[in-house]
Amino acid sequence: MRIAIGADHGGYTLKKWVIKILEKSGCAVKDFGTYSSKRCDYPRVGFKVASGVASRKFERGVLICKTGLGMAMVANKVPGIRAALLSDRASARSSRKHNDANIAVFSGNRITRKKAEEILKIWLKTDFSGGRHKRRVDQIGNMEKKLRRGR
Ligand code: RB5
């Protein structure tokens, strides 16, 4: 699976760990930064990752900032993105089954490495259920189209 990943300074340390897990799981990972713990602005990185996933160059994305909140907000501005802030196994599972989430967002300082690994592994292997959930996800896509047309 092709994965785009990005973080700000608040997610930099966890990002390094997540890249290792993804690569061990056989994913091809493209790192969009940030590349040090020097303070930086999360919207710039979040937008790059979300745009890469929306363009289908990458099948999924992972974003990390201190709380996960800012990255989730940025990513969900990009049409076609369904970014989910994940903090437990149940949210990982349902974000895939029900919402077909294509970006997983983590808080860099509110979950342990072990927890992030557990959540990520579930998130990677869980398929979208389709059916009534597809109807709902399609409704989100239709709203994006309406907004693009200006109504
Ligand atoms: C940076 O201090 C912090 O605001 C950022 O990492 C993120 O948590 C924003 O939502």
Question: How confident is the model at residue 55, as a pLDDT?
Answer: 98
Q: Which of 39, 65, 73 to mutate to test the pocket of ligand 1 (most atoms within 8 A of CB)?
A: 65
* 66 token code pair: 């201190």
CB of 69 within 8 A of CB of 45? no
What CATH number does residue 98 fall under? Answer: 3.40.1400.10
Tell whether ligand 1 has an atom less than 6 A from the beta carbon of residue 34. Answer: no
Put simply, whether the predicted model's pTM sits higher than 0.85 gets the answer yes
Asked if 65 is an active-site residue, the reply is: yes
**66 touches 108 (CB < 8 A):** yes
Q: Ligand 1, atom 4: nearest CA belongs to which residue?
A: 66
Residue range of the domain that includes 93: 2-149
Catalytic hit among 9, 40, 98, 133: 98
Q: Encoding tokens for residue 4? A: 């785009």
Q: What is the DSSP letter of 128?
A: P
- The one-digit pLDDT tens for each residue of the chain (151 residues) are 999 999 999 999 999 999 999 999 999 999 999 999 999 999 999 999 999 999 999 999 999 999 999 999 999 999 999 999 999 999 999 999 999 999 999 999 999 999 999 999 999 999 999 999 999 999 999 999 999 998 6
- 10 Cα–ligand 1 center, Å: 6
Q: How many domains does the chain fold into? A: 1
